[in-house]
Every structure is written in C-alpha cells, then in structure tokens.
Amino acid sequence: MKKHDNGIQGFMGGRNGMDHLSRLLLYIALGIFALSVILRLWVLFILGGAVLGICIYRTLSKNLNQRYSENRVYLQLTKSARSSVHRFILRIKDKKTHRIFKCPNCSQKIRVPKGKGEILIKCPGCRIEFRENTGTASPKT
Ligand SMILES: [Zn+2]
C-alpha cells in the first residue's frame, strides 16, 4: 500500500503536471498522429512526436514558474475564442428548451420556453403583444 502511494504521486511531486496548454498540445499531437495515418505521411508522424515530446516535457518539468507563465499566456491569448466556443455550446443546449422570437414591431429578440403551444408574447421593449407558436408540449405529462 505504502509503495503505491509513493509511486505516481512521488514521481509527480514538484512537477508541473498536465495544465491547459499541455492538454492542448496532447490533443494536437493526437490529431497529427491521426492525420499521418490517414495521409500516410511519416513526416507528420515525426511532427506529432515532437509536439507530444513538448507536452511530456512541460508535464514533467520542475520549472514551475516558467511553465505557469506559459500556460497563463496561452489562456490569455485564447480567452475570447474559448468563451465564444462556450457561448456557442450554451446556445445549442438552450435551443432544445427555448426559442427566440423577434418582435414584429421593434425586432427585439425575446426568449421563450419551448413546447407551450401557441402563446401570447408581450414585447418587453415596445409592449406590443403578438402570438407565436412555441411547438407542441412534449408528450411526457
Ligand atoms: Zn417590440
């Protein structure tokens, strides 16, 4: 039992471990490996190996300050891209439960729950009322 405790944790002690940047490098390496198999290009395989090598080097590195600042730069550079991906995923999830209607008067977008049949929507912008069909209610009553 004691031997097991000292195994991977003892080895990884004081090392950087998998951070966001290393995880990205791992995915890139796997993608390049897959491409090299599909395209039968050994040059790509070496490239994938190099990327994987950087990933392993960063994970096992004991220079925590350097690795931390690299990871922080990566997170800052990809901040807007990552948050727009996040918003995109949220919007897809939201599409299952809600619908967006446009006010016929002021074209403000109004978000209403799905599956309520035909409902009367009151525009919060111009106070006009209009009817829209939100779809039939789901059959689990
Ligand atoms: Zn309106």
User: Which tens digits make up the pLDDT trace of 22-80?
Assistant: 999 999 999 999 999 999 999 999 999 999 999 999 999 999 999 999 999 999 999 99
| Residue 86, domain member (yes or no) | no
| Residue 50, domain member (yes or no) | yes
| Residue 115, domain member (yes or no) | yes
DSSP string for residues in 90-130: HHHHHHTTEEEEE-TTT--EEEEESS--EEEEE-TTT--EE
User: Which tens digits make up the pLDDT trace of 112-130?
Assistant: 999 999 999 999 999 999 9
Question: What domain count does the chain have?
Answer: 2
| Residue 85, domain member (yes or no) | no
Residues with CB under 5 A from ligand 1 (ion): 103, 105-106, 108, 123, 125-126
134 Cα–ligand 1 center, Å: 18
Q: Could you tell me the residue range of the domain that residue 122 belongs to?
A: 97-133
- Are both 59 and 9 inside the same structural domain? yes
pTM listed for this prediction: 0.61
118 Cα–ligand 1 center, Å: 18
- Are both 64 and 122 inside the same structural domain? no
110 Cα–ligand 1 center, Å: 9
Quick one: pLDDT band at residue 1, thresholds 50, 70, 90?
Answer: very low
Mean pLDDT of the chain: 91
